[in-house]
Amino acid sequence: MTSLNRFPFDTSVTELLVALRDGRVTSQDLVQAALAQIERYDRRVGAFLAVRGEKAMDQAREVDRRRARGEKLGPLAGLPVAVKDNLCMEGEPTTCASRMLARFVPPYDATVVARLKAADAIIIGKTNLDEFAMGGSTETSAFQKTRNPWDLERIPGGSSGGAAACVAARMVPLSVGSDTGGSIRQPAALCGVTGLKPTYGRVSRFGLVAFASSLDQIGPLAQSAEDCALLLEVLAGHDPRDATSINRSVPPYREVISHRPESIKIGYVPEMLSDGVSPDVVRTMEEALNVFRSLGAEIREVRLPHARYAVATYYIIACSEASSNLARYDGVHYGYRTDEKAMLAELAEERRRLQQEGNLAALDDLDTALVRLYRKTRAEGFGAEVKRRIMLGTYALSAGYYDAYYLKALKVRRLIRQDYDRAFETVDMILGPVTPAPAFRIGEKINDPLAMYLFDLFTVSGNLAGIPALAFPAGLSTEGLPIGVQLQGPPLSEERLLQMGHLFQQVTDWHRRRPPLIEDSPQPA
Amino acid sequence: MSMGDRPYKIVIGLEVHVQLLTESKLFCGCSTKFGAPPNTQTCPVCIGMPGVLPVMNRKAFELAVKTGLALNGEIARFSKWDRKNYYYPDLPKGYQISQYDLPICRGGYLDIPAEDGEGTRRIGIIRVHLEEDAGKSMHDEKAGRADSRIDLNRAGTPLLEIVTKPDLHSPTEAKTFLTELKLLLNYLEVSDCNMQEGSLRVDANINLHIPTDDGGHVATPIVEVKNMNSFRAVERALTYEAQRQYEAFLETGHKLGDVPKQTRGWDEDAQITRPQRSKEESSDYRYFPEPDLVPVTITEEELERIRATLGELPAEIRRRLQTTYQITAYDSDVIVNQGRAFVDYYCRLAQGCGDGKMAANWVQQDVLRTLNERQWTIAQFPVSADNLAELLRKVRAGELDTAKARMVFAEMVEQRCSAAEAVQRLGIVQVDEGELRRLCEELVAANPRVVAEVKAGKDKAIGSLVGQAKKRNPNVNPARVKEICLELIQRQA
């Protein structure tokens, strides 16, 4: 692999594809490089839950063979891609980082996985996430912590923590994540990579294990907007198996990435740069605004008056939907089931005890075997954060509370969407911070769910409104941690967001910075 | 509403679930055919695997709209799906996709034959909505291990829920309503309503209004009765339940609102209703809009297109048969109950033979009996309406008496031939009018005693001449012989 530098995935995907086509590098070289990088760093980073070493190499060999024979290959032919472990892949464990699905092997591909396969991409492995994508630090994974390659004591963000960390550590050039309340953008920002949450419906959700159906959206993570464009082009498109997918043609995102939009108006919300936001983030935002100004954009202030209710609204809607979406994990049909013998023995023991005590009321209330199976299966199969959200959602949907919580949240959601509609009448896109601060330390917020939820302050509105948003690196904190910003646009404005992101990345190099982890490590021979 | 001979008035509302006749399930492509080995008609969508999504079967939606139109309801131009959340092993997603606040159809009614046989009674419909069926739990308790097995073939089958107003006032009327509804759904080709196969299920809400001295009434607590597996079971269960409520009221004095709503199951073996566990009734289903599906809209054009497929419905057909062919309400009922193909057969026959009443008698007696004996449908019946009309015309023309016509009919069925052919096969030769007259003249001349008796007013004596004529030529039409002989005798006078 002489023609590529020692971190092959520092090279843009476009260049890698040219190198592959010209025969300067083979798919086997790339997959080997990815596996080597994973081997080297992932014991410390913990980005992957499963690596398909042999199978990926076999596929790479096959792609190389087909290329040698001159066959027509897909747009991502031979490129290693990582897939978040809440995306179903036929014959491969799909765990959602939960004990509940630890041994679940789907008999079907998610539409995005099928599209990656059809594009001849090589799926190198499944990345770690917060359990069922519920979390913002990847700490709620039932299996392992993922560490931020920029500082192994810090979280990579979440829930697509593994997806962002593996790109940051140059293990893969492309990674697929999902974003329900910021789960692509937030880890992208904290790990110094680029990530896009597309318009709701732009990418099929079929085969994405649902967290909150009306908010979930799949999207790309990579080092640059250009690479994201390439991946989005493969992921996006109408899918008859997803009734909420948008039936509109997919623009050639990669091809048009260099088109420079004329007279762009970029808005920003001044309130978002005030209280509670770290000075590093404020400075980064101001610098980014200046970059765009220098690129000829007109900068305007805009208002999103209902943004302050976004976190509350988001957690009611997301948890309500989650409480229903996760009901299927009951130990009856598939997935984790409690030890039945032990459960029945326990129940018999309780009955005996209550009979001895003559406690008839408690006897009458005693679970049936079926109810106890549900209770124990779910108590043992789910982690604390998932249980918390199921309880919150169940409460919000319950008779007597529905109007005050769920229904009210739906109304506020409409107002938040209207805020954006109004804002986009005067500006083409809105630049804002992704997080109020850089990556926090592992364990810092895990026992303070509210603080954790408030960290989602800038990202959840985009999901509630269903609009696209591109997060990209725009600076480093005084401690040397990456800080990202995001561009949000009206529905189906991915093309423009990517163009503006690309333009920004033409004149800055934040997206090319490497985490000290791989800089400091001894060089491979 | 009369109370009949009961000391109370019965108030019944029904909740009917019917499976729709679609090829595939409501939200996936699996077959809905009944009777396949357990769990062979399933896919990741209908067994609720992680990450899969439902996609609506438009055909099921159209059948629901068709039913709503036939029930004279208001079709929603915009309806949506909701999730009904509850845990049960035969509900693999932990929720049922149903419709909560925006059903496909609201209001409407079904006219049913009145109990006294005079006219019709109008039963109001509250709503019609579409939902997915659950799977089936099979409990094998005789092994003592209470083993349960789950068959998910049925999970996801489109199910229409039809809720009536509490307009039914007797168990018999409830049964009549169900019979009429089933007939309507058969005519619409919306459902086969087979209770054995579970394609029609019914629950009933029932209470009593007991008159008070001041001219008003007290209402007893409403009870939901489940587990009724035939229309007859519905009638019996409700009859039992009404009497039970009356006795309970006399004993406890409990009125509506005094106790929580109770659910009771019909025990077919014991012929009684039994209370079901109270834990099984109190549920908060936490309905909320199904985020995986988009709302369903329907345009005026689509609505008109569906309306055009309704065809003539049972009540209209009954009216038409009565006025066009001058038959009784009872006759039209029997004919319409046999289904659309049978009605078509009857109409063609009535037109072909020119006598609606005669046609009605023949289809109800001879045709229906043959169909029943041979287990045929009208489509399999070998005698076409045109051929049978030919036979009936011969009867009307006096060429055949009824007894002979029946023989010819039987021959037509056996040989699958026309009436003329059957007559020939049986050797029934039409006796020439001149020949017949000569025969009668001979008989009158040879039997002066008989002629004298007839002249004396003993009409019956003519039978002797008819008998002799039949002996000399078995093909003569006895009625005609009688006619001619009488005429000859009168002319002598």
Secondary structure in 3-state letters for A262-315: CCCEEEECHHHHCCCCCHHHHHHHHHHHHHHHHCCCEEEECCCCCHHHHHHHHH
Checking phi first, is residue A182 left (phi over 0); if not, alpha (psi -120 to 50) or beta?
Answer: left
Say whether A324 and B50 touch across the interface (CB within 8 A).
Answer: no
For the domain spanning B433-492, the CATH number is: 1.10.10.410
Assess whether A159 carries a catalytic annotation.
Answer: yes
pLDDT at B1: 46
Q: What are phi and psi of A520, to 5 degrees?
A: -80, -20
Q: For residue B289, what is the nearest residue in chain A, using CA coordinates? A: A321
pLDDT at B141: 56
| Pairing verdict, β B120-132 and B105-106 | antiparallel
Checking phi first, is residue B353 left (phi over 0); if not, alpha (psi -120 to 50) or beta?
Answer: alpha
Say whether B51 and A209 touch across the interface (CB within 8 A).
Answer: yes
- Cα separation, B180 vs B200, in Å, equals 13
Q: How many other C-beta atoms are found inside a 10 Å radius of the C-beta of residue A301?
A: 11
Which secondary structure element, helix H or strand E, spans residue B439, and what is its range?
helix B433-446
Q: Tell me the one-letter amino acid at B438.
A: R
Residue B54 structure tokens: 């439902």
CA B303 to the chain's CA centroid: 26
HSE-CB for A192 with a 13 A CA cutoff: 21
- Cα separation, B268 vs B193, in Å, equals 20
Query: Burial letters for B270-279: b for 16+ Cβ neighbours within 10 Å, e otherwise?
Result: eeebeebeee
Work out the minimum CA distance from B50 to partner chain A, whole angstroms: 5
Q: How many other C-beta atoms are found inside a 10 Å radius of the C-beta of residue A228?
A: 36
Mean pLDDT over the full length of chain A: 95
Say whether B286 and A330 touch across the interface (CB within 8 A).
Answer: no
Q: How many other C-beta atoms are found inside a 10 Å radius of the C-beta of residue A284?
A: 25
Question: pTM for this structure?
Answer: 0.91
Query: What was the ipTM of the complex prediction?
Result: 0.95
Residue A65 burial (C-beta neighbours within 10 Å; 0-12, 13-18, 19+): exposed
Closest partner CB to B293 (pick from A209, A243, A374): A243
Q: From the candidates A316, A332, A347, which should be mutated to test the interface with B, based on the most B CB atoms within 10 A?
A: A332
* Lowest model confidence (mean pLDDT) among A151-155, A274-278, A424-428, B407-411: A274-278
Question: B493 pairs with which residues across the strands?
Answer: none
pLDDT at A525: 39
CB A181 within 8 A of CB A459: yes
- Cα separation, B343 vs B89, in Å, equals 45
Q: Which is more confident, B120 or A336?
A: A336
Question: B273 pairs with which residues across the strands?
Answer: B266
Nearest to B116 by CA among B319, B329, B315, B338: B329
Residues of A with CB under 8 A from a CB of B: 86-88, 94, 96, 101, 104, 106-108, 110, 205-210, 212-214, 240-244, 320-321, 323-324, 326-328, 330, 332-334, 370, 374, 394, 397-399, 402, 406
Please give the average per-residue pLDDT across A363-389, as a whole number. Answer: 96
Q: Which is more confident, A242 or B479?
A: A242
Nearest to A143 by CA among A91, A93, A202: A93
- Cα separation, A284 vs A409, in Å, equals 32
Cα separation values, B467 from B49, B243, B477, Å: 83, 62, 11
Size of interface A-B (CB pairs under 8 A): 98
Q: What are phi and psi of A430, to 5 degrees?
A: -120, 130
Say whether B44 and A107 touch across the interface (CB within 8 A).
Answer: yes
Largest CA distance in chain A: 83
- Cα separation, B402 vs A460, in Å, equals 86
Residue B166 structure tokens: 């509490």
Nearest to A25 by CA among A103, A93, A78: A78
pLDDT at B429: 72
Assess whether A278 carries a catalytic annotation.
Answer: no
Helices within B222-297 (DSSP H only): 231-252
Given the residues A98, A137, A175, A183, the one annotated as active site: A183
CB contact set of A309 (below 8 Å; sequence gap of 6+): A412, A415, A416
HSE-CB for A278 with a 13 A CA cutoff: 20
Q: Is B48 on the interface with A (CB under 8 A)?
A: yes
Say whether A328 and B52 touch across the interface (CB within 8 A).
Answer: no
Q: Is B137 on the interface with A (CB under 8 A)?
A: no
Work out the minimum CA distance from A208 to partner chain B, whole angstroms: 5
CB contact set of B142 (below 8 Å; sequence gap of 6+): none
pLDDT at A6: 59
Nearest to A458 by CA among A227, A284, A228, A248: A284
The pLDDT of residue A7 is above 80: no
Q: Any idea what DSSP says for residue B268? A: T
Q: Is B83 on the interface with A (CB under 8 A)?
A: yes
Assess whether A477 carries a catalytic annotation.
Answer: no
Please give the average per-residue pLDDT across A444-472, as a whole number. Answer: 95
Q: Tell me the one-letter amino acid at B421.
A: E
- Cα separation, B20 vs A255, in Å, equals 49
Residues within 8 A of A (CB atoms), B 140-199 only: 150
Say whether B55 and A327 touch across the interface (CB within 8 A).
Answer: no
The pLDDT of residue A3 is above 50: no
Helices within A46-110 (DSSP H only): 53-68
Q: Which is more confident, A448 or A522?
A: A448
Correct CATH for A8-265+493-520 of 3.90.1300.10, 3.40.50.150, 3.40.50.10420, 3.20.20.70: 3.90.1300.10
**Residues of A with Cβ-Cβ distance to B150 under 8 angstroms:** 332
Q: From the candidates B39, B42, B46, B49, which should be mutated to test the interface with A, based on the most A CB atoms within 10 A?
A: B49
Q: How many other C-beta atoms are found inside a 10 Å radius of the C-beta of residue A286?
A: 13
**Residues of B with Cβ-Cβ distance to A332 under 8 angstroms:** 89, 92, 150
CB A439 within 8 A of CB A151: yes
CB A124 within 8 A of CB A89: no
Q: At what angle do helices A310-325 and A408-426 cross, to 10 degrees?
A: 130
HSE-CB for B40 with a 13 A CA cutoff: 6
Domain with CATH 3.90.1300.10 in chain A: 8-265+493-520
The pLDDT of residue A511 is above 80: yes
Given the residues A27, A84, A245, A323, the one annotated as active site: A84
Tokens 């007597």 -> residue: A400
Tokens 């193909």 -> residue: B341
- In this prediction, the residues of chain B whose per-residue pLDDT falls under 50 are 1, 280-281
Say whether B95 and A327 touch across the interface (CB within 8 A).
Answer: yes
Say whether A243 and B89 touch across the interface (CB within 8 A).
Answer: no
Work out the minimum CA distance from A353 to partner chain B, whole angstroms: 22
Say whether A328 and B83 touch across the interface (CB within 8 A).
Answer: no
Residue A368 structure tokens: 């049936």
Say whether A210 and B286 touch across the interface (CB within 8 A).
Answer: no
pLDDT interval class at A487 (50, 70, 90)? very high
Look at residue B140 and give its three-state secondary structure.
strand
Closest partner CB to A241 (pick from B49, B53, B293): B53
pLDDT interval class at A1 (50, 70, 90)? very low
Q: Tell me the one-letter amino acid at B20.
A: L
| Pairing verdict, β B105-106 and A80-84 | unpaired
Q: Tell me the one-letter amino acid at B312.
A: E
Given the residues A98, A141, A159, A160, the one annotated as active site: A159
CB contact set of B164 (below 8 Å; sequence gap of 6+): B13, B14, B15, B16, B123, B124, B125, B126, B177
**Residues of B with Cβ-Cβ distance to A207 under 8 angstroms:** 51-52
Question: Which tens digits make up the pLDDT trace of A72-106?
Answer: 999 999 999 999 999 999 999 999 999 999 999 99
- Cα separation, A167 vs A187, in Å, equals 11
**Residues of B with Cβ-Cβ distance to A394 under 8 angstroms:** 286
- Cα separation, B242 vs B9, in Å, equals 9
